[in-house]
C-alpha cells in the first residue's frame, strides 16, 4: 500500500519536467511467480534545462534489478532507488540518452488492482491515474507523451493471447513452450494510457470500414464461453464509431480496436489507446442476465471509452487538474450519443436525475470542489460526479451559448490545434472564444468555482402595460474550496407559456441579453421586462436544464400543475411534476416530525393518473414522471436535521395515496403493457417495461401487492422484469413467503453467475429498514461474495452504505459501526475502493443531531487508525473538515 506522504499538489505548482521521454520500449517476461519488466527509455533533456539536472522518476512499490545508461551499467553511487523513486543525480551531459531499467513486480499479489495485476488468471493493467509507476520507474505524468513499443513473452499455455496498445508488428515462438508478441503504437501517448493484457480469453471479432474507407479490425475478448454475451457491446461499438464520424467528423486512427472484459476492476472501464479494458459488467449482456438499464449503460460506456480516442487520447491533459478536459467533454459526447440512439428528452431527464443525485450532494457537502480542482492529495479521489457530470454540463452550456454550428467549429479547432498535445481548460475555452468572438472569461468560473448556484426568481404581470417582469437574483452558496464566490454567467432557457399551452410571443425584452430563448444572467440582480405580454403566462424556467443550478421561483402551484401537463419542453414538464412531488414529500416529512399524519392534495394523484394515461407521451417519459423523488433527493431538499425514517414513511404514504387513487387505471395499464413479442433491448421496448415496472411498484404497495409481484416474478421472461419484481417483494414485503421464495429461486438459478448475483446482493442491501445491516453481514459470508472483487463489494456494501437511507443511518449507529469495520477491511487490499465507499458519509452534517454525532464518531475512528492509505485518509479528513 502506498504510504501517505501528506503531500498536497497544487494547480499553480505546475512545472514542465526537465526531461522528456520520446520513446519507450518495454519487454515483459510474464513468469509464473513474478514478472520482469525491462524498460528502455529514450531520455531527452528539455531545451533550456541545465546540463546535469537530476533525473527523478516516479515509482510505487518497485524493486530495481538493474540500471544502465547507453547500455553501460550504472554504479550504485550514481543513483538512488527506493520503491517510490529513482533519482539519477548526474545524468550524462548529452542531451539524449538511453536509460535501461529492469524491475521486478508481482502481479498475482496485486490486490489494489493498479499497475499490472491478475484477474481470474488474466494479466491486465490499469494505469490511470498513477498506476504506470507500479510497473516501471517513469515520468508518470500526463504531459509526458511517448511512442511505445511493447514486447510480451509468456507461456503459450497460460497466455495464448498477448495484447498491448497499437498495432501488432511481430509474434512468434520461443523455447519452453513460450511465445511472444510485439505491439507498436505510433501515436505518442501519456503513460496512463498504456495497457497490456495476457491470458486465455475467447474472442468476438468484427470489422468496421471508416468514412474514408480504412478497414479496422474489432475484437472483444471475454471469458471463454461468454462470447455470445458480447454481441450487444460489439454493436454499440460500431454504432459509436459511426456516430463520431457523423456528428463530430472523427475517424478511428489505428488498424485494430480491442476491448477486453475482466472481472476484477476498480472502475467501469478504461480508454487505453487501441486496447480498452472493461469491467465485465459493462460488456456482458443478454435479456436473461442484464436489465434494460444495464444495456443502456453498456452502450454509453462503450461509446464513452471509444470517444476518448480523440477527447483524451489524441488530445490529452497537461496535468491531473485538467481531468474534466477529457472526462467532462467525453461524458458530454456519450450523453449526446445516447440521446441520438434513444429518446433525447428521456435521456436528458435521466442525466439530470443522476446529476442531482450524485453531484448536487457533493457540491453541498464537505467534498465540494470545482470542476477543475486547484489542489489534491490523492488524484484518484477526484474522479467524481463534479468532474464528470457537472463537467459535461459546462460543455453543454458552451454549446447552448454558442449554438450548434459554432460549437462544432470550436471542437474542430480544438482537436486540430492540440492534436498530439497535452492541453488545459484555458486551451479548450480559447478555441470557442476564437470561433465566436465571445468573451468567455466570466463563463470560465464554472470550471473554477465549486457550489451549485441558485437563482431566486419573482415575477409580476401588469395587464395595463402588457408587461411581464422577472426579478432574478443569483447566489452561490459558500464551500470550503473558495472563500469568496464570484458572479457567474448562467444561460437560462425559458418560455412564457400561454393558456393554450403554446409559448407566447413577446415584443421585446429589456434588462438582460435575451437571445434564442435564453436569458444570459451575469449580474447579482437582473430585472428582465418582457413587453407585449397581455396575459399572465406560466413561467417555464431552465428548460432542458440549460444550467446546473437550483431555482427558487415564486410560482403558484397551479402553474406547476399546468406546466406538468402542457409545457412544450418535455424536460420542463417532468421538472414541474417532479417539483410537485418533491414539495409534497418535504411537507409530509414535516408533518410526520410534528406528529401528524401526512396529507396529500388530490391533485397530485390526479396528475399521476393523467400522466400515466397520456398516450401522446412515450412510455419511458411517463415512467420517469411517475417515479417519486428518492429518499436522498428529499433529504437534499430538506438539507438539515434529517431523519431518514420520517422521509421513508412520508414517501411510502404518498406512494400508497397515488396507488389507491389510481388503482383501476394503473392495473388496466399494467396488464396492457405486458411484453408481447420477442425480447428487444431497444429504447421503446425498454420504455414499455419501465412504465409497467413503475406501475408494479405502485400496485405492490396495495393490498394483494405481494401476490401481484410474485406473479410478475414468476412470469418474467427477462432480467428487467425479474429484478423489478424481486425488488418490490424484498423492499415492500420483506417478511412474506413470496419474498423468501423469490429470493431463494433467484439464488438457485443464478448462483454460478457472479454478475447476476450482484443484483441479488444489491436488492437485499437496499431493503429499507433497521434490520438490513444484519442481513448484509450475513450475506458477506455467502459463497458468491468476495472481499477482493470490487463488483461484489460495491453491490453489497456500496449499495447498503450509499443507497439505503433507513438501513445505513440506523439511529443506534450500527450501520456506521459496520461501515468503519468494512471500509478498513477493504482498505487493506484495495485503498481506492475503500475510499470510494467512505464517501457515503459525505452528507453527515445534514443528519439530525443523534445520528450526526454517531456518524462523526465513525469518521473519527477511521481517521485515528494508524497507517491509513493516502486514498482513505484524504476522503475521511476532508469529510470531517
Ligand atoms: N478514464 C477512466 C477512469 C479512470 C479512473 C482512475 N481512477 C475511465 C473513464 O472515465 O473513461
Ligand atoms: Zn472517461
Q: Which of 2, 262, 267, 323 to mutate to test the pocket of ligand 1 (most atoms within 8 A of CB)?
A: 267
Contact 415, 325 (CB under 8 A): no
| Residues carrying CATH 1.25.50.10, the chain | 751-881
Q: Which atom of ligand 1 is nearest to the CA of 327?
A: 10
| Span from the CA of 271 to the centroid of ligand 2 (angstroms) | 7
Q: How far is the CA of 277 from the centre of ligand 1 (A)?
A: 10
In angstroms, what is the span from residue 276 Cα to ligand 2's centroid? 11
Question: Minimum-distance ligand to the CA of 269?
Answer: 1
Q: In the chain, where does the domain assigned CATH 2.60.40.1840 lie?
A: 454-547
Q: Is 305 among the residues known to form the active site? A: yes
How far does the centroid of ligand 2 lie from the alpha carbon of residue 686, in Å? Answer: 26
Query: For position 619, what pLDDT does the model report?
Result: 98
Which pLDDT value is given to residue 676? 85
Q: At residue 1, does pLDDT exceed 80?
A: no
Write down the architecture of domain 315-448 according to CATH: Orthogonal Bundle (1.10)
Which is the closest atom of ligand 1 to the Cα of 330?
11
Nearest CA to ligand 1 atom 4: 128
Q: In the prediction, which pLDDT does 654 show?
A: 98
Q: Label residue 3 by pLDDT band (50, 70, 90).
A: low
Q: Looking at the CA of residue 832, tell me the nearest atom of ligand 1.
A: 7
For the residues 236-248, what does the mean pLDDT come to?
A: 99
pLDDT tens-digit profile of 746-767?
Answer: 999 999 999 999 999 999 999 9
Q: Which atom of ligand 1 is nearest to the CA of 308?
A: 11
Q: Would you call 182 helix, strand, or coil by DSSP? A: strand
> In this structure, what C-alpha cell is assigned to residue 718?
427477462
* pLDDT score of 539: 97
Q: How many CA atoms lie within 13 A of 25 on its CB side?
A: 6
pLDDT of 849 > 70? The answer is yes
| pLDDT for the residue numbered 30 | 98
* pLDDT given for residue 556 in this prediction: 87
Among 190, 194, 195, 269, say which to mutate for ligand 1: greatest number of ligand atoms within 8 Å of CB: 269
CATH number belonging to domain 454-547: 2.60.40.1840
Mean pLDDT of 51-58: 97
Ligand 1 pocket test: pick from 142, 259, 270, 331 the residue with the most ligand atoms within 8 Å of its Cβ.
270
Whether 198 shows a pLDDT value over 80: the answer reads yes
- Please choose, from the candidates 875, 863, 779, the residue with its C-alpha nearest in 3D space to the C-alpha of residue 832: 875
- Output the average pLDDT for the chain: 97
| Domain ranges in the chain with CATH number 2.60.40.1730 | 9-200
The protein residue with its alpha carbon nearest to ligand 1, atom 10, reads: 327
Nearest residue to 373 (alpha-carbon basis) of 835, 881, 6, 878? 878
Instruction: Please provide residue 482's backbone torsions phi and psi, each rounded to the nearest 5 degrees.
Output: -135, 135
Dump pLDDT digits (tens) for 831-840: 999 999 999 9
Using alpha carbons, select from 687, 688, 689, 695 the residue that is nearest to residue 670.
695
Q: Is 232 helix (H, G, I), strand (E, B) or coil?
A: helix
Give the Å distance between the CA of 385 and the centre of ligand 2: 12
The answer to whether the predicted template modeling score (pTM) of the entire model surpasses 0.85 is yes
Work out which ligand 1 atom sits closest to the CA atom of 266.
7
Contacts of 479-483 spanning 24+ positions with Cβ under 8 A: 479/363, 479/368, 479/450, 479/451, 480/366, 480/368, 480/878, 480/881, 481/368, 481/369, 481/370, 481/373, 481/374, 481/449, 481/450, 481/451, 482/370, 482/449, 482/450
pLDDT higher than threshold 80 for residue 316: yes
Question: What does the pLDDT look like over 464-519, one tens digit per residue?
Answer: 999 999 999 999 999 988 989 999 999 999 999 999 999 999 999 999 899 999 99
pLDDT computed for residue 6 by the predictor: 84
Q: What is the pLDDT of residue 480?
A: 87
User: Given the CA of residue 128, which atom of ligand 1 is nearest to it?
Assistant: 6
Q: Answer whether residue 19 shows pLDDT above 70.
A: yes
Over residues 733-738, the mean pLDDT reads 98
Give residue 851's Cα distance to chain centre: 29
Mean of the pLDDT values across residues 431-439?
99
Pairing between β-strand 96-105 and β-strand 35-45 as defined by DSSP bridges: antiparallel
Which residue's CA is the nearest one to ligand 1's atom 9? Answer: 270
pLDDT at 878: 98
Here the cell at position 551 is: 431555482
Percent of the chain with pLDDT over 70: 100
C-beta of residue 401 within 8 angstroms of C-beta of residue 393: no
Residue 146, φ and ψ in degrees, nearest 5 = -140, 150
CATH number, span 9-200: 2.60.40.1730
Ligand nearest to the CA of 326: 2
The answer to whether 534 and 497 have CB atoms below 8 angstroms apart is no
- Provide the pLDDT for residue 657: 98
Give the distance (Å) from ligand 1 centre to CA of residue 266: 9
218 φ, ψ to 5°? -110, 140
**Residue 2 pLDDT greater than 70, yes or no:** no
- Ligand 1 centroid to Cα of residue 11, in Å, is 20
Atom 2 in ligand 1: residue holding the nearest Cα? 270
Of the candidates 82, 60, 83, 189, the one whose C-alpha atom is nearest the C-alpha of residue 133 is: 60
**Residue nearest atom 7 of ligand 1, based on CA coordinates:** 380
**pLDDT tens digits along 495-510:** 999 999 999 999 999 9
For the segment(s) 751-881, the CATH number from 2.40.340.10, 1.10.10.10, 1.25.50.10, 3.40.50.720 is 1.25.50.10
Give residue 264 CA to ligand 2 midpoint distance, Å. 19
- Could you tell me where in the chain the CATH 1.10.390.10 domains are found? 315-448
- Which residues' Cβ are closer than 6 Å to ligand 1? 128-129, 267, 269-271, 304-305, 308, 327, 380, 383
Catalytic residue among 25, 305, 618, 631: 305
Indicate which residue's Cα is closest to atom 5 of ligand 1. 128
Nearest CA to ligand 1 atom 8: 270
For strands 316-317 and 422-423, give the pairing: parallel
Number of other residues whose CB lies within 10 A of the CB of residue 677:
6
Radius of gyration of the chain (CA): 28
Contacts of 615 (CB under 8 A, 6+ apart): none
Q: Cβ–Cβ contacts within 10 Å for residue 38, how many?
A: 17
Across residues 144-162, what is the average pLDDT?
A: 98
Amino acid at each position: 500500500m502506498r504510504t501517505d506522504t501528506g503531500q498536497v499538489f497544487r494547480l499553480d505548482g505546475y512545472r514542465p519536467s526537465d526531461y522528456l521521454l520520446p520513446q519507450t520500449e518495454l519487454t515483459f517476461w510474464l513468469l509464473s511467480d513474478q514478472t520482469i519488466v525491462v524498460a528502455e527509455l529514450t531520455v531527452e533533456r528539455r531545451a533550456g534545462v541545465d546540463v546535469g539536472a537530476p533525473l527523478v522518476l516516479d515509482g510505487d512499490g518497485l524493486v530495481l534489478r538493474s540500471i544502465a545508461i547507453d547500455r553501460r551499467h550504472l554504479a550504485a553511487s550514481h543513483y538512488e532507488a527506493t520503491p517510490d523513486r529513482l533519482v539519477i543525480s548526474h545524468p550524462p551531459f548529452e542531451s539524449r540518452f538511453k536509460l535501461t531499467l529492469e524491475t521486478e513486480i508481482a502481479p498475482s499479489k496485486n490486490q489494489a488492482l493498479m499497475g499490472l495485476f491478475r484477474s481470474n488468471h488474466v494479466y491486465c493493467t490499469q494505469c490511470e491515474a498513477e498506476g504506470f509507476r507500479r510497473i516501471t520507474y517513469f515520468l508518470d505524468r500526463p504531459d509526458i507523451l511517448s511512442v511505445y513499443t511493447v514486447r510480451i513473452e509468456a507461456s503459450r499455455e497460460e497466455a495464448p493471447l498477448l495484447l498491448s496498445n497499437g498495432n501488432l508488428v511481430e509474434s512468434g515462438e520461443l523455447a519452453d513452450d513460450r511465445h511472444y508478441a510485439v505491439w507498436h503504437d505510433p501515436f505518442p501517448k501519456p503513460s496512463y494510457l498504456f495497457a497490456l493484457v495476457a491470458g486465455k480469453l475467447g474472442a468476438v471479432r468484427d470489422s468496421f470500414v471508416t468514412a474514408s474507407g480504412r478497414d479496422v479490425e474489432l475484437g472483444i475478448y471475454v471469458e471463454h464461453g461468454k462470447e455470445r454475451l458480447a454481441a450487444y457491446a460489439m454493436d454499440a461499438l460500431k454504432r459509436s464509431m459511426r456516430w463520431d464520424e457523423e456528428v463530430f467528423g472523427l475517424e478511428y486512427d489505428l488498424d485494430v480496436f480491442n476491448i477486453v472484459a475482466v472481472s476484477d476492476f476498480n472502475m467501469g472501464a478504461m480508454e487505453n489507446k487501441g486496447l480498452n479494458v472493461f469491467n465485465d459488467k459493462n460488456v456482458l449482456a443478454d435479456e436473461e442476465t442484464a436489465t434494460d438499464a444495464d444495456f443502456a449503460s453498456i452502450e454509453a460506456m462503450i461509446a464513452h471509452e471509444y470517444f476518448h480516442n480523440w477527447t483524451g487520447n489524441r488530445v490529452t491533459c497537461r496535468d491531473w487538474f485538467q481531468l474534466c478536459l477529457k472526462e467532462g467533454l467525453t461524458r458530454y459526447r456519450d450523453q449526446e450519443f445516447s440521446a441520438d440512439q434513444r429518446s433525447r428528452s428521456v435521456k436528458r431527464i435521466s442525466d439530470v436525475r443522476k446529476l442531482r443525485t450524485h453531484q448536487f450532494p457533493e457540491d453541498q457537502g464537505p467534498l465540494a470542489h470545482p470542476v477543475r480542482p486547484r489542489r489534491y492529495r490523492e488524484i484518484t479521489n477526484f474522479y467524481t460526479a463534479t468532474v464528470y457530470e457537472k463537467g459535461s454540463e459546462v460543455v453543454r452550456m458552451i454549446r447552448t451559448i454558442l449554438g450548434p454550428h459554432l460549437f462544432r467549429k470550436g471542437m474542430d479547432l480544438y482537436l486540430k490545434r492540440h492534436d498530439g498535445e497535452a492541453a488545459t481548460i484555458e486551451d479548450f475555452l480559447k478555441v470557442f472564444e476564437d470561433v465566436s468572438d465571445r468573451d468567455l472569461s466570466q463563463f470560465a468560473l464554472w470550471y473554477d468555482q465549486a457550489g451549485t448556484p441558485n437563482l431566486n426568481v419573482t415575477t409580476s404581470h401588469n395587464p395595463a402595460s402588457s408587461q411581464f417582469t422577472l426579478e432574478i437574483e443569483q447566489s452561490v452558496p459558500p464551500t470550503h474550496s473558495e472563500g469568496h464566490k464570484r458572479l457567474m454567467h448562467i444561460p437560462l432557457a425559458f418560455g412564457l407559456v400561454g393558456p393554450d399551452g403554446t409559448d407566447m410571443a413577446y415584443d421585446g425584452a429589456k434588462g438582460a441579453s435575451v437571445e434564442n430563448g435564453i436569458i444570459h444572467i451575469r449580474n447579482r440582480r437582473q430585472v428582465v421586462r418582457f413587453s407585449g405580454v397581455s396575459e399572465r403566462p406560466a413561467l417555464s424556467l431552465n428548460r432542458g436544464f440549460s444550467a446546473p443550478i437550483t431555482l427558487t421561483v415564486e410560482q403558484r402551484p397551479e402553474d406547476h400543475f399546468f406546466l406538468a401537463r402542457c409545457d412544450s419542453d418535455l424536460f420542463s414538464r417532468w421538472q414541474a411534476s417532479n417539483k410537485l412531488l418533491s414539495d409534497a414529500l418535504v411537507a409530509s416529512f414535516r408533518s410526520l416530525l410534528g406528529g401528524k399524519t401526512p396529507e396529500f392534495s388530490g391533485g397530485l394523484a390526479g396528475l399521476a393518473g393523467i400522466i400515466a394515461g397520456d398516450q401522446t407521451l412515450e412510455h419511458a417519459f411517463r415512467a420517469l414522471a411517475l417515479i417519486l423523488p428518492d429518499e436522498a433527493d428529499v433529504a437534499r431538499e430538506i438539507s438539515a436535521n434529517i431523519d431518514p425514517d420520517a422521509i421513508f414513511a412520508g414517501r411510502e404514504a404518498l406512494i400508497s395515496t397515488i396507488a389507491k387513487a389510481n388503482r383501476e387505471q394503473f392495473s388496466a395499464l399494467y396488464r396492457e403493457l405486458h411484453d408481447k413479442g420477442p425480447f428487444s433491448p431497444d429504447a421503446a421496448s425498454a420504455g414499455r417495461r419501465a412504465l409497467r415496472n413503475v406501475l408494479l411498484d405502485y400496485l405492490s404497495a396495495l393490498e394483494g401487492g405481494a401476490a401481484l409481484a410474485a406473479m410478475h416474478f414468476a412470469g418474467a421472461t427477462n432480467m428487467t422484469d425479474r429484478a423489478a419484481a424481486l425488488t418490490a417483494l424484498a423492499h415492500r414485503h420483506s417478511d412474506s413467503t413470496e419474498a423468501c421464495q423469490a429470493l431463494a429461486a433467484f439464488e438457485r438459478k443464478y448462483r454460478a453467475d457472479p454478475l447476476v448475483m450482484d443484483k441479488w446482493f444489491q436488492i437485499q442491501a437496499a431493503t429499507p429498514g433497521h434490520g438490513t445491516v444484519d442481513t448484509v453481514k450475513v450475506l458477506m459470508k455467502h459463497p458468491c461474495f468476495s472481499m477482493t472483487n470490487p463488483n461484489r463489494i460495491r453491490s453489497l456494501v456500496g449499495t447498503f452504505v450509499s443507497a439505503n437511507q433507513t438501513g445505513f443511518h440506523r439511529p443506534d449507529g450500527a450501520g456506521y459501526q459496520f461501515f468503519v469495520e468494512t471500509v478498513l477491511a477493504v482498505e487493506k487490499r484495495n485503498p481506492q475502493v475503500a475510499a470510494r465507499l467512505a464517501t457515503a458519509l459525505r452528507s453527515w452534517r445534514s443528519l439530525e443531531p443523534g445520528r450526526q454525532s454517531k456518524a462523526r464518531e465513525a469518521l473519527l475512528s477511521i481517521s485515528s487508525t494508524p497507517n491509513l492509505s493516502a486514498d482513505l485518509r484524504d476522503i475521511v479528513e476532508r469529510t470531517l473538515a
